Amino acid sequence: MSIELEGINPYLAHFRASPRDRYDEGRSKRETIPLESHAVTTVGPKRVDPLMILQKQNLEQNRVQQLIPLRFGRMSYSPFTYLRGAAAVQASDLAAGPRTDLWVELCGDAHLGNFRWFNCPDRKPVFDLNDFDETLPGPFEWDVKRLAASITVAARIRGFSTKKCQAATHSAMRAYRESIIAASELNPLDLFYYRFRAEEALERISQHGGKHRRWKEDVLAKAARKNSMRALNELTAVVDGRRVLVPDPPRTVRIDDELADRSVEEISQFFESYKESLPLDRRVLVDQFSLVDVVRKVVGVGSVGTRCLIVLLESDDRTPLFLQFKQATQSVLEQYLGKSIYKQSGQRVVEGQRLIQATSDMLLGWSQWQGNDGKNVDFYFRQLWDGKGKICVEELGPTRLAIFAELCGKTLAFSHARSGDAMMIRGYIGEDETFDDHLVRYADSYADCTWADHAQLDLAIKERQIDVIRDL
């Protein structure tokens, strides 16, 4: 077991050293990578063209080419949606800059829109990261920089003053630093069992006034209603005596012809392979459900073009279970940080998610499907709706954005502490606001870059170099 973990976490051996020694070693790393070096973006004349990166990604990841115009359409909506879809671009930029060797299991796409509430297995809501398509071991600051940039971009879209933009980003960076300090003082078991419960988040928010508490309670109430029974009512209908998933083009479409080309044995084998990736108790649970219907769904911004399907299953007593299985491709980070130890990209996503999240979907699993072109397509499975609640960050005012950003900064810190050495990271970033201030400056600079990249995409669309479909 230790050999496998050392492959994921190069600093496992340091946990056997004293906290003081680990803190000092982290601080000593400032000599080679000074804190101020993180304030600088490496965007210059030698930068790889962002549109070339995105076009290459579309081809290399075996995406559904008919959906690529929809991906660019969603990215073109605003600089924030552009940033959401441009994880590969920021990864290229980060790889060209300074990096520490303080590695954690990275989310890989820790922008502001990928944090939300959802139910953990005990059915109580928690706040955590939600998207792990790009997860891979790497330097902790890559996630922090993506979060910081996304906050500044979201704040600018709302027209906030420079001071308020910086305040929102600073609140997240301060929360990250303070939470790394808190996590570094926990023993391994306490850290493993730590959950950022919704009640705790609400308590922090209530300090800012009753209207903010009511706002968060509304978000949680909406998330609680997002369950299998609501999905049954909203996503399905009875047609000719059979329960089916209802299409909603172009976001949700039927794939009956594609399934007709497949044998029952192929489909069964694909699903059985998924069940084999589950622990025994979850396998026994899923075995009590039968496949009823399947549709294809377009999700997200950066994920558009990858294959995503919704599956409706029912038990003998007609209890519904909705699963989503989504294509897993090579992480955009692998080009710069090395190949994943997992050959199956779906397993990479699932194992990374389990490392990062305090508590994960109990039906997470993976499987592989052979496409019509003969190429294998990796997938991971998760529940579709399970109390998930999200916030449209582009609609938040200055106070609420700063509050939400703080929650995200804390969450990211504990996520990093689960796979990395929080004490070494603490030693490196320090106890004062120096690191926070440098990351705010980085976010300002990268927001400028994002605005320019978004403008470049807009121009390419206007000059008809890129086809788009807009559905927002």
Instruction: Examine the fold and report which residue of 337, 358, 383 is the final residue of a domain before the chain moves on.
Output: 383
Is residue 469, in this structure, part of any structural domain at all?
Answer: no
Instruction: Examine the fold and report which residue of 324, 353, 383 is the final residue of a domain before the chain moves on.
Output: 383
* Angle between helices 198-206 and 398-419 in degrees, nearest 10: 140
pLDDT at 97 (0 to 100):
94
pLDDT at 36 (0 to 100):
97
Instruction: Examine the fold and report which residue of 364, 383, 402 is the final residue of a domain before the chain moves on.
Output: 383
Q: In this structure, what are the phi and psi dihedrals at residue 205, rounded to the nearest 5 degrees?
A: -70, -35
Is residue 468, in this structure, part of any structural domain at all?
Answer: no
Cα-based torsion angle of the residue sequence 146, 200, 219, 472 in order, rounded to the nearest 10 degrees: 10
pLDDT at 3 (0 to 100):
39
Is residue 419, in this structure, part of any structural domain at all?
Answer: yes
292 shares its domain with 397 = no
196 shares its domain with 292 = no
Is residue 240, in this structure, part of any structural domain at all?
Answer: yes
Is residue 267, in this structure, part of any structural domain at all?
Answer: yes
Q: Can you give the residue range of the structural domain that contains 434?
A: 2-225+392-462
Is residue 31, in this structure, part of any structural domain at all?
Answer: yes
Domain count, the chain: 2
Rg (CA), the chain: 22
236 shares its domain with 168 = no
User: pTM for this structure?
Assistant: 0.91
Is residue 471, in this structure, part of any structural domain at all?
Answer: no
373 shares its domain with 416 = no
324 shares its domain with 238 = yes
267 shares its domain with 141 = no
246 shares its domain with 102 = no
143 shares its domain with 23 = yes
101 shares its domain with 27 = yes
10 shares its domain with 132 = yes
CA gap 131, 112 in Å, rounded: 11
Is residue 467, in this structure, part of any structural domain at all?
Answer: no
pLDDT at 7 (0 to 100):
46
CA gap 325, 268 in Å, rounded: 15
CA gap 77, 316 in Å, rounded: 45
Q: Is there a contact between 57 and 302 (Cβ–Cβ < 8 Å)?
A: no
Average pLDDT of adjacent 10-residue blocks, the chain of 472 residues: 44 70 96 96 88 90 82 94 96 96 96 87 81 96 98 96 97 98 95 83 72 75 69 81 83 76 78 94 94 85 82 90 91 96 96 91 91 81 75 86 94 96 97 97 97 97 92 62
SS3 357: coil
12 shares its domain with 151 = yes
pLDDT at 6 (0 to 100):
44
23 shares its domain with 139 = yes
